[in-house]
A and B are shown apart, each in its own frame.
Chain A
Amino acid sequence: MESATPYQINLEVFQGPLDLLLFLIRKRKIDIHDIPIAAITGDYLEYLNRKDSINLEREAEFLLMASLLIHIKSQMLLPRESLPEEEDDPRKILVEKLLDYQKIKAASNLLRQKEETRLPEWQRSFLPPLPKTEDLELTEVSLFGLAEAFYFLMKKRERGDLKTIERKEYSIEEKTREILEVLRIHAFLDFTAFFESQETLEEAVVSFFCFLELIKAGKIVAVQEALFHPIKVWLRKESADEYSGQNHH
């Protein structure tokens, strides 16, 4: 039987049920492709039992694996009509999962080594502002990049001070005009700064819709000098002409 000395089990040292299973398999020095399912299920359950209580929220996955093991065990006990083929070995799915997980674990150990080498090295992380010329190489920000930036801005606001605001209606048309007006005067606007200047969440959401509409219509473009740099919104040249034309009308 199990010969391990009893000690306080801390499931937290395992990243999950697969991690615990791998540990048990290694301990028994058995072939992962041919797991003696009854023995391993026994080991596994013993581990869970050694804990006084199960924190369902954190350890539900461990219980799920226990039920899977028991299920496989019972399937293997059932008499079969035909000779079992490798294809319907009930352990197959579990073995595949374990093999995949084993690779990921090895890969994460490699990454950890690399991380440790890199942590004591420092690189400059700020730079004097780049000259603002039109021929700077700019990357267009993807929709997801934009949505992500918006999300983090809104998250930041959630932590901000609450203040009473009077109810105000915002219309897309009005907001669109306002954005185009800012762009006409300043040529570009800073995405973050713009949303920080919005008074309410409602106003920010309406503005974000306007940006999306204008980008879709090809009137403006959201760009950044490089990934993770501030996002700037520019008026497209064609629409700049069109807009100033309209204005003079």
Chain B
Amino acid sequence: MNIPVKTIIESLIFISLEPLSKEKIKGILAEFSPEEIETALLELTTDYNSPGRGIKIIEVAGGYLFSTQPELDSWIRRLLHSNRKSKLSPAALETLSTIAYNQPITLAEISSVRGVDASHALKTLLQKKLIKIVGRKKAPGKPLLYRTSDRFLRYFGLNSLEELPSAEEISKMLEEEDGK
């Protein structure tokens, strides 16, 4: 029996809870060449991302994952008896971007950038597992250091931190805005 590699990969992504990385797929499917796998992945994502499908394959946090199409939100919420997913508060979001652009970072440093105490927002983000503690800073009081987590990437649909616009790009954007 000759099962196409595309079909196998489809099943692997389907069964994965966490984004399934290319490296992992290649490791599992050692009998196929990396090129074959790359091509199959490309075909598979194109297949799914064509119109008329309820699900698509997204690339987040360094891997592939099945996701529903956004326009089906209300139907899924009927099934799950769920309300619209709640957004992060402005304070939490601001704290999160401070961490994303300055990681690893301590609470005092976050509060200093934001100009307000960030401890409450930090707690919320830890509970939502959008950030994680990665150690302690070698500084007086040995404060805890925070980083964004894989769940952070997944939450915002980012494949890696590099997908965020760089600090320089943001400065440029702001200058252009000011120029208007």
Which residues in A have some Cβ–Cβ distance to B below 8 Å?
A: 15-19, 61, 65, 97, 100-108, 110-112, 114-127, 144-145, 148, 226-228
Q: B138-173 interface mask toward A, CB cutoff 8 Å, 1 = contact, 0 = none? A: 000000000001110001111000001101001101
Report the number of A-B residue pairs with Cβ-Cβ less than 8 Å.
Answer: 123
Which chain A residue shows the least CB distance to B151? Answer: A228
Task: Determine if A122 and B157 form an interchain contact, defined as CB atoms under 8 angstroms apart.
Answer: no
| 11 contacts across the A-B interface (CB closer than 8 A) | A16-B114, A97-B113, A111-B97, A112-B93, A115-B87, A119-B73, A120-B85, A121-B157, A122-B67, A125-B17, A127-B17
One of A16, A107, A112, A226 near B115 (C-beta < 8 A): A16
How many residues on chain B are close to A (CB under 8 Å)?
A: 54
Task: Determine if A108 and B93 form an interchain contact, defined as CB atoms under 8 angstroms apart.
Answer: yes
**B46 contacts chain A at the CB level, 8 A cutoff:** no
Task: Determine if A114 and B65 form an interchain contact, defined as CB atoms under 8 angstroms apart.
Answer: no
Task: Determine if B97 and A121 form an interchain contact, defined as CB atoms under 8 angstroms apart.
Answer: no
Task: Determine if A103 and B129 form an interchain contact, defined as CB atoms under 8 angstroms apart.
Answer: no
CB distance from A162 to the nearest CB of B (A): 24
**B98 contacts chain A at the CB level, 8 A cutoff:** yes
Q: From known contacts A17-B115, A17-B116, A122-B67, infer whether A111 and B93 are also in contact, taking CB-CB under 8 Å.
A: yes
A122 cross-chain contacts in B, Cβ below 8 A: 67-68, 72-73, 76, 80
**Cα-based distance from A101 to B17 in the complex (angstroms):** 36
Task: Determine if A114 and B158 form an interchain contact, defined as CB atoms under 8 angstroms apart.
Answer: yes
One of A112, A120, A227 near B149 (C-beta < 8 A): A227
Q: B91-106 interface mask toward A, CB cutoff 8 Å, 1 = contact, 0 = none? A: 1011011101100000
B94 cross-chain contacts in A, Cβ below 8 A: 15, 104-105, 108
CB distance from B133 to the nearest CB of A (A): 5
Q: B117-129 interface mask toward A, CB cutoff 8 Å, 1 = contact, 0 = none? A: 1000000001001
Task: Determine if A108 and B97 form an interchain contact, defined as CB atoms under 8 angstroms apart.
Answer: yes
Task: Determine if B158 and A108 form an interchain contact, defined as CB atoms under 8 angstroms apart.
Answer: no
**Cα-based distance from A145 to B150 in the complex (angstroms):** 14
CB distance from A62 to the nearest CB of B (A): 9
One of B73, B85, B101, B133 near A148 (C-beta < 8 A): B133
Task: Determine if B174 and A102 form an interchain contact, defined as CB atoms under 8 angstroms apart.
Answer: yes
Task: Determine if A226 and B173 form an interchain contact, defined as CB atoms under 8 angstroms apart.
Answer: no
B132 cross-chain contacts in A, Cβ below 8 A: 144-145, 148
Which chain B residue shows the least CB distance to A64? Answer: B115
CB distance from B22 to the nearest CB of A (A): 15
**Cα-based distance from A119 to B87 in the complex (angstroms):** 8
**Cα-based distance from A145 to B101 in the complex (angstroms):** 23
